Copies of this chain bind each other. A is one copy, B any other.
Amino acid sequence: MPELRKDPIIGRWVIIATDRAKRPNDFKPEQSEMTEVTPCPFCAGNEKLTPPEIRAIRKDGTEANKPGWDIRVVPSIAPVLRIEGDLHKHPHGIYDTMNGVGAHEVIIETPEHVGNMCLLKSAQIAKTWKTYRERLIDLEKDRRFKYVLVFKNHKPAAGSTTIKHCRSQLIALPACPKSVKGELEGAKKYFDYKDRCVYCDIISQELDDKKRLILEIDGFVAIAPFAARFPFETWILPKEHSSDFSKIKDNEIKALSKILKKVTSRMNKLLSDPPFNYMLHTAPYRRPKAGYWSTIEQDYHWHIEIIPRLTRVAGFEWGTGFYINPTPPEEAAKFLREV
């Protein structure tokens, strides 16, 4: 009998197929022919092929937009939002619009032509996450922005281009996204009722249960969420309560990078370099002192969601918001523990 499971934060139902559960080898992730763009605009030496850098971690004495960097942040050459201009909110009859103001940046994670983050040293991964922290703190100063999403699209089936070079993106938005609001509202309802953070309770139950626990390293856990939407979906959370990723300390980034490297290496091995996305979920900027905004620090808990793209979203998912997951998270976690 398939099982319907409810996400304890946002109340989304998923259907977990328990009868004929799919194992790692049952998935044939879509393989796009990767006709590589040459020369690669993200390799050291090709800095002139990108817009001028916004920020870089580079060796002392090296010049901006020249080799000598470890991490480089550049504006997207195809930005979905524009950095200039004001919001100019305005109606159109019954409709509402505003100008597409925002920031869209690309974080180049290595000067070398490496295609998969799990092949980078964890010290290099740490530099990427330090850069995210710095960009989040810097962009908060721009009062037009309400939220910044940091994310990665790995391979074309996960929305990337055919350029292999390891990178991630961030988009700063002038409105707090609906899906973030859903998490904030759900977490607040839970806190109001239980006087505890729902994510802290999830971590505590998963550490007791062990069935969905993938890894635990120096204050971070990787779990297969109980109501996972996708096969091998994995969440990484800090055990210590914190709503805001940008407050993370250097030693915590070190531990986070270790667990990220392990989890992505295991996915890579188990699922043969699958397309995947990761998204950083953290507290929004500029929190008014009313409604669910006023208590975000106690209610919310930052975390990372990693979703391998092995299944397709079809009419049923679009029409209902239900998801069908053919691999129970308990089995996914077991595979990811044992690989």
User: What's the Cα separation between A201 and B279 when bound, in Å?
Assistant: 37
Q: Is A266 an interface residue (CB 8 A)?
A: no
Are B178 and A315 in contact, with the CB atoms below 8 A?
A: no
Are B95 and A320 in contact, with the CB atoms below 8 A?
A: no
Residues of A172-210 contacting chain B, CB below 8 A: 173-175, 177-180, 182, 198, 201-202, 205, 209
**Chain B residue with Cβ nearest A205:** B93
Q: Is A153 an interface residue (CB 8 A)?
A: yes
Are A159 and B320 in contact, with the CB atoms below 8 A?
A: no
Residues of A135-172 contacting chain B, CB below 8 A: 147, 149, 151-153, 156-160, 169, 171
- Whether A13 touches B201, Cβ cut-off 8 Å, given contacts A3-B99, A227-B95, is no
Interchain Cβ contacts under 8 Å between A and B, 19 examples: A1-B82, A3-B98, A4-B99, A5-B96, A11-B178, A18-B100, A30-B30, A80-B316, A80-B324, A92-B226, A153-B315, A159-B312, A160-B314, A177-B322, A178-B322, A182-B321, A277-B315, A277-B319, A278-B315
Extra contacts, 6 of them, besides A2-B99, A180-B321 (Cβ < 8 A), are: A1-B99, A2-B82, A151-B315, A153-B315, A277-B318, A279-B315
